[in-house]
Amino acid sequence: MTTPVNIEAGSQVWVRDPESAWVDGVVLEINGDEIRISTNSGKTVAAKVSNVYTKDAEASPCGVDDMTKLAYLHEPGVLQNLKSRYDMNEIYTYTGNILIAVNPFRRLPHLYDTHMMQQYKAAGFGELSPHPFAIADAAYRLMMNYGRSQSILVSGESGAGKTESTKMLMRYLAYMGGRAAAEGRTVEQKVLESNPVLEAFGNAKTVRNNNSSRFGKFVEIQFDQGGRISGAAVRTYLLERSRVCQVSDPERNYHCFYMLCAAPPEDVERYKVGNPRAFHYLNQSNCFELDGVDDCNEYLETRSAMDIVGISYFEQDAIFRVVAAILHLGNIEFCDGKEFDSSVPKDEKSRFHLKTAAELFMCDEKALEDSLCKRIIVTRDENITKCLDPQAATLSRDALAKVVYSRLFDWLVNKINCSIGQDPNSKFLIGVLDIYGFESFKTNRCLTGMLLSLLLRVPNIMV
């Protein structure tokens, strides 16, 4: 193994560190493939050549806004540059036309107001500080100038800030492609207000993020010849259904459950909910509230957003009846029945929740009980009813809750798409693909193929 170019005794370098990932220091001596380094933390360490990288001694302490300007584009150089900018509250950095965002874990409203959008509208790419608005503006101008559809890919691990970045991109595109409101709601208003609806039913608090998307999303915004938004469609994939029934401490279930429990008294009574601590699907974790978030206010804002995207009062009522019914479903426990390997609701409390769930679902109570405690096996000649033991009945209960919630989410997406409407005569589109943080493209070939088919429709990909 040869010594890296330009590394000699006295060189400033980066070396791998088990605690800090990388530390900087000065080379004391080189002996074959091993280097002795005096780090700036006061330690002397020995490292393999493969774990050492040259440090740019002339690098600005403020970093650079485009990392293609770095003297050494290696991992420690990139991380140090991002840290230097982050320490100055600069959370965005370019690498060419790729925008890297570092989650500040706090609100920075001044970065996303109308005044900021006006600035980026009048600027060429790279003239102003790195920003999602610049990426969206570049995509819009490429579409208009060259007559080609565009796509913006938003990717990163859970908690990186993809959801917020996607919302900022959509806000800017709505700003550029908006039109004065006439009768009713404009397409861009419906596109933007679809976000809080989908977040209420598809986002949850995780260990890393208070508003983490637990589903993937592709938003297709269509434009007419004049560059005005003429239609849109939302496609979702891989909703995390298991979260409906299993929540790890200190995470939360989907926001909508807590919103409904904190709703105004008349709605709490109507949907027969109350303290979230009383529901099994919520009390598996000790986290029930979020700092700085008023779940009652979030509930009212979600209802308002539903109005804007075209979900009627009667449909909203049905949606929240289903949400409440799922909570009651989770409180049904089972014990052994009279027959061998059979089960029945455990006690009066379980029967109360069974009855309440049936009322909210608007179905027959006995039919709901049978669906949980029995399984129908279809054979060639007849249907055989098989009793389930308490453990199997519990699994059946959870399976029903997950399926119902998943279908409710799909119905919401379809309803939003129908309300927004697609324009068959649109000339161009800009796709915003939000890939959430725990899929594996090496193993999930089905998802990879789907995403590629979407992106191939919009040939110019900007990340």
Binding site members for ATP: 156-163
Residue 440 bears catalytic tag: no
Catalytic residue among 84, 129, 158, 285: 158
Residue 301 bears catalytic tag: no
CA-to-CA separations, 251 to 36, 190, 211, 331, 406, in angstroms, rounded: 45, 30, 11, 19, 20
Q: How far is CA 33 from the centre of its chain?
A: 44
Residue 253 bears catalytic tag: no
Alpha-carbon torsion (176, 92, 75, 158), positive or negative: negative
List, in order, residues 6 or more apart from 26 with CB less than 8 Å away. Answer: 10, 11, 12, 13, 37, 38
Tracing tokens 């002795």 back to the chain, one arrives at: 36
Mapping DSSP to helix (H, G, I), strand (E, B) and coil, where does residue 445 land?
A: helix
Catalytic residue among 209, 236, 343, 417: 209
CA-to-CA distance for 18 and 38, rounded, in angstroms? Answer: 16
Catalytic residue among 54, 213, 253, 426: 213
Q: Where are the alpha helices (DSSP H) in 6-96?
A: 75-86
Binding positions: 156-163
Catalytic residue among 159, 178, 274, 337: 159
Q: In 3D, which of 43, 42, 40 has the Cα closest to residue 13?
A: 40
Residue 212 bears catalytic tag: yes
Residue 396 bears catalytic tag: no
Neighbours of 5 (CB within 10 A): 7
CA-to-CA distance for 223 and 232, rounded, in angstroms? Answer: 9
CA-to-CA distance for 454 and 433, rounded, in angstroms? Answer: 9
DSSP string, 165-234: HHHHHHHHHHHHH-----SS--HHHHHHHHHHHHHHHHEE--SS-TTEE-SEEEEEEEE-TTS-EEEEEE
Q: In 3D, which of 286, 212, 191 has the Cα closest to residue 255?
A: 212
Catalytic residue among 54, 195, 203, 212: 212
Element (H, E) at 343: strand 343-345
Tokens standing for residue 148: 């080609």
Instruction: State the DSSP code for 345.
Output: E
Mapping DSSP to helix (H, G, I), strand (E, B) and coil, where does residue 291 land?
A: coil
Residue 342 bears catalytic tag: no
Instruction: State the DSSP code for 97.
Output: T
Catalytic residue among 333, 439, 448, 460: 439
Tokens standing for residue 219: 């938003």
CA-to-CA distance for 35 and 29, rounded, in angstroms? Answer: 6
Catalytic residue among 54, 149, 163, 210: 163
Element (H, E) at 444: none
Residue 312 bears catalytic tag: no
Peptide bond into 250 cis (omega under 30): yes
Residue 304 bears catalytic tag: no
The answer to whether 256 and 250 have CB atoms below 8 angstroms apart is no
Alpha-carbon torsion (350, 355, 360, 362), positive or negative: positive
> Any idea which residues carry the catalytic annotation?
158-159, 163, 209, 212-213, 437, 439
